[in-house]
Amino acid sequence: QVQLVESGGGLVKPGGSLRLSCAASGFTFSDYYMSWIRQAPGKGLEWVSYISSSSSYTNYADSVKGRFTISRDNAKNSLYLQMNSLRAEDTAVYYCASVVVTARFDAFDIWGQGTMVTVSS
């Protein structure tokens, strides 16, 4: 079945690094834009980053620009988020999602179950 499974979350100290992974199955991963979205405890959704199907295009929220890097390996059906210089405010559940992209809208149609990242000393 169509599935996204995140991994790599955990507890990290401020200033530290973490790499999240997202394994895709059940659909043609290489055809889709992909995205990371996060949700701080008790808060709303916050878009983090996009990557195009061929990796030629990436974009980031201002809050993570210069610290996070999105990448993908279509041969491995995998999406990644390298997070450096982590801050307490990066504490959140991180979701990966596939993206339907058209001229008039984007839609996050498949979501993973999320992985928790806690930044604390």
Partner 1 sequence: SSELTQDPAVSVALGQTVRITCQGDSLRSYYASWYQQKPGQAPVLVIYGKNNRPSGIPDRFSGSSSGNTASLTITGAQAEDEADYYCNSRDSSGNHLGVFGGGTKLTVL
Residues in contact with partner 1 by the rule CB under 8 A: 33, 35, 37, 44-47, 50, 57, 59, 61, 95, 99-102, 104-109, 111-114
To partner 1, the closest distance from the beta carbon of 95 in angstroms equals: 6
- C-beta of 75: minimal distance to partner 1 in Å? 24
3-state secondary structure the chain: CCEEEEECCEEECCCCCEEEEEEEECCCHHHCEEEEEEECCCCCEEEEEEECCCCCCEEECCCCCCCEEEEEEHHHCEEEEEECCCCHHHCEEEEEEEEEECCCCEEEEEECCCEEEEECC
* CB 27 to partner 1: min, Å: 13
By beta-carbon proximity to partner 1, the closer residue of 35 and 79 is 35
